[in-house]
Structure 1
Amino acid sequence: MASRYFTIHIALLTALTLASLYSINSRYYQQHEVNSLLTMTCYNTSTSSKVDSTSRDGAFYSAADIAKPDEDWGKKICPVRELNDLNDFYEYIFTRRIPCDFKMILGGRLLGKSSKMDGDKWVCMDKQYNISPRNCLVFSFGIGTDWSFENDVEKKLGCKVFAFDPTINKRSQRISELISFFNLGIGDSNRTAPEFKVKTNSYGNILNGLGHLNSIVDILKIDVEGSELRFFKDVLEGTPSLLKNVKFIAMEVHIEGKIREFWKYFQLLDCFGFKIWYSAINPFGGGRVVNGRQRGCCYEIVWVQDRSW
């Protein structure tokens, strides 16, 4: 049954009843195998320009004001301040507030004859984040023609992967033992996105339909070519508690013409305990100088929820 194709019906939750096919694999490698796996794939490198890890404070909120795991995040009040200096926006992006000793790169490929890598995501494998090989869960929104991230997650970590993309003309199906694909996009509701005429649904509905509303999500990858604002609006303004169980958010952020909107959501992420530990200009979105500094239209950012798991 695992090898059969299945179709998403008009109602998302009908199709997602097939989620029983994708129960998390509880098998563990022996400890020496796990240690070997991590040794082969972890690095001590960083591309963020600054590190500020002197306290538990966030970029915008003090440690005392950041939401706690046992709070009702839906009732959390997070005052948001206006952006008065554009430099503050870029300072936030390039200040890494979380140190990491063991870094792992997942995915990425060289495009054409260039030496530029695209599609790669980074995750911190430090002990406090408790990413357990063969016992982890990843949601990946936005595939295009590049499956390198999903394949690497399966190969290096053995995580169960749910992958989504409504733009690649591919039927919903089981891709491999651990990777399942859905012809569906992430948005702020169950609807057809007018600009692309593709089916989308909210993060909460997707989690619920797959039976993972209360599951720990080790990595939430979002690379949806500008539609990430819909995700932020839906979750951060409406259902922030959905992020309680998310360890890492790895996102390609498209900021052109939307800096003030992102500024608000960056603050809300900070209020809910998500801090930047990795950031870089997307190699295909740079090439401009603002106030004497290299800037880009797109950034690769990875936030981590700053607590022990």
Structure 2
Amino acid sequence: MHMGKERLTRGLLLRVGVLLTAVCVCVHVYLETARRGAPAALTLGRPTQPGRTKQVSAAEAGEQDRSVKRRISYVRTLKKEARKRDEDPSSPCCLPRRPHRKTLRWHIDLEPWAGESRSLEDEAERFLSYITTPQVSCASLVSREAAQQGTKGAWAACLDPKYSLTHRIHSKHCRVYSFGLGVDDRSLENSLARAGCEVHCFDPSLKQPHLQQDDMWLHRLSVDWRDPNPAIIAQRQYASTKKLATILNDFGHRQVDVLKADMESAEWKILENLVLEGVLESVGQLLLELHLHWAGFEVGGDDPSVVRFWFSLLKELERANFRLFHIHSDPAKPRLFLHKNVRNASSAYTLSWVNTEWRP
């Protein structure tokens, strides 16, 4: 009985001791916080010793006030200079600000309808007038004489001195990409290769991955509007098609002076990919064969919507500083426009654009 009371007394004393300790700690923290937050505890930024009060004369008070004003003025000056640097990236004291990254685009900007009726006739009239009207003149066309030899002689590149291709050829920095399916006319590529350009021809039907022939590189590869599934690559051990951005990255190329493509109705989706991913900035001239007898791979909608989509893509080219300088319609092709006879238009047109702002 006596031992039980003793244990109870010890436990009670222990709890009281813990409680008193906690109270003391709380009081100490409160007093310390109040002392640090007191306005009179700081003089010129230096803490005074606790328990002492310092008498400040009028002269010292004036000096303190001027010191505070100087510091406030200094901080304001720093903020003003920072704002000037933000507004003027060329400020010599600091590194230039990083340019804003391009906003990722998921779709092109569709142009307004050609007419209130939204008819195929209105859309076709606008589209065909657009692709048959040159926007700039070009002083010289590569392989002009080949145009008289057959329908495939329509491929032409601009050698006008006011654009960059001529200077690139003279400096031995010219690069050409040519995409086609099967055997294609390569008179333009041969002309540019003889002029000193580095020419790469892409054809997925080749038996060898890479081959050098007649001053040109041949690659078992073609361009697409999407990269292949990695599982397909693992099964085939190589990819036969890739996006242009991926091909440029794989080859270590930043610019292409001339991009020629005859993709047998895949050109619309490929062109859309070049617009959305901003790859057109790396291209000096674009030579493209358009196929108009049907909508093209993965292009949906009724006939007026399809033609509106085509026209909107070409207007995206114009906004990217590309100007049409050469038009050729193949007389051997059937006169079909979305399976119809519209203005006796050919089903295939070969068009050439030059990037008027391209400065590699």
TM-score, normalised to structure 2, is: 0.56
Deviation track 1:84-119 (CA, whole Å, cap 9, x = no partner) reads: 412111110011010122222279588xxxx63315
**Deviation, structure 1 residue 127:** 1.0
Match of 1:296 in 2: 346
Q: Does the 8 Å contact 1:286/1:294 carry over to 2?
A: no
Pair 1:119–1:304, CA change in 2 (3 A)? same
Q: Does 1:252 align with 2:252?
A: no
Question: Equivalent residue of 1:307, what SS?
Answer: coil
Instruction: Say which structure is richer in helix.
Output: 2
**Deviation, structure 1 residue 234:** 1.5
Question: Equivalent residue of 2:177, what SS?
Answer: strand
Which AA in structure 1 matches 2:357?
R
Q: Does the 8 Å contact 2:257/2:284 carry over to 1?
A: yes
CA distance in 2, matches of 1:135, 1:189: 29
**Deviation, structure 1 residue 282:** 2.0
Deviation track 1:274-305 (CA, whole Å, cap 9, x = no partner) reads: 11111121233254698884411110001111
Match of 1:306 in 2: 356
CA distance in 2, matches of 1:127, 1:204: 28
Counterpart among 190, 197, 205 of residue 159 in structure 1: 197
Q: Does the 8 Å contact 2:143/2:187 carry over to 1?
A: no
CA distance in 2, matches of 1:140, 1:201: 14
Q: Does 1:273 align with 2:321?
A: yes
Percent identity among equivalent residues?
A: 24
Which AA in structure 2 matches 1:300?
T
**Deviation, structure 1 residue 183:** 1.1
Match of 1:90 in 2: 128
Pair 1:245–1:253, CA change in 2 (3 A)? same
Match of 1:204 in 2: 245
Q: Does the 8 Å contact 1:187/1:200 carry over to 2?
A: yes
Question: Equivalent residue of 1:128, what SS?
Answer: coil
**Deviation, structure 1 residue 149:** 3.0
**Deviation, structure 1 residue 186:** 0.8
Q: Does the 8 Å contact 2:336/2:342 carry over to 1?
A: no
Match of 1:229 in 2: 268
Report 1:1-12 matches (<5 A).
Answer: none
- In structure 1, runs of 5+ residues without a counterpart are 1-69
**Deviation, structure 1 residue 233:** 2.2
Instruction: Say which structure is richer in strand.
Output: 1
Which AA in structure 1 matches 2:207?
K
**Deviation, structure 1 residue 203:** 0.6
CA distance in 2, matches of 1:244, 1:80: 22
Question: Equivalent residue of 1:162, what SS?
Answer: strand
Which AA in structure 2 matches 1:205?
T
Deviation track 1:142-186 (CA, whole Å, cap 9, x = no partner) reads: 15213333222212x2210111111x3432223237411111121
Q: Does 1:129 align with 2:147?
A: no
CA distance in 1, matches of 2:342, 2:226: 41
Pair 1:169–1:138, CA change in 2 (3 A)? closer
Counterpart among 266, 287, 309 of residue 261 in structure 1: 309
Match of 1:62 in 2: none
Pair 1:297–1:100, CA change in 2 (3 A)? same
Which AA in structure 1 matches 2:163?
Y
Counterpart among 176, 183, 201 of residue 138 in structure 1: 176
Match of 1:81 in 2: 112
Deviation track 1:199-218 (CA, whole Å, cap 9, x = no partner) reads: 21101000000001x23x21
Match of 1:173 in 2: 210
Q: Does the 8 Å contact 1:107/1:150 carry over to 2?
A: no
Q: Does 1:285 align with 2:333?
A: yes
CA distance in 2, matches of 1:263, 1:71: 29
RMSD: 3.1
Deviation track 1:113-154 (CA, whole Å, cap 9, x = no partner) reads: xx6331541111111212232330011111521333322221
Task: Flag the structure with more relative contact order, 1 or 2, with Cα contacts below 8 A and sequence separation at least 6.
Answer: 1
Larger Rg: 2
CA distance in 2, matches of 1:119, 1:230: 25
Q: Does the 8 Å contact 1:107/1:152 carry over to 2?
A: no
CA distance in 1, matches of 2:100, 2:350: 30
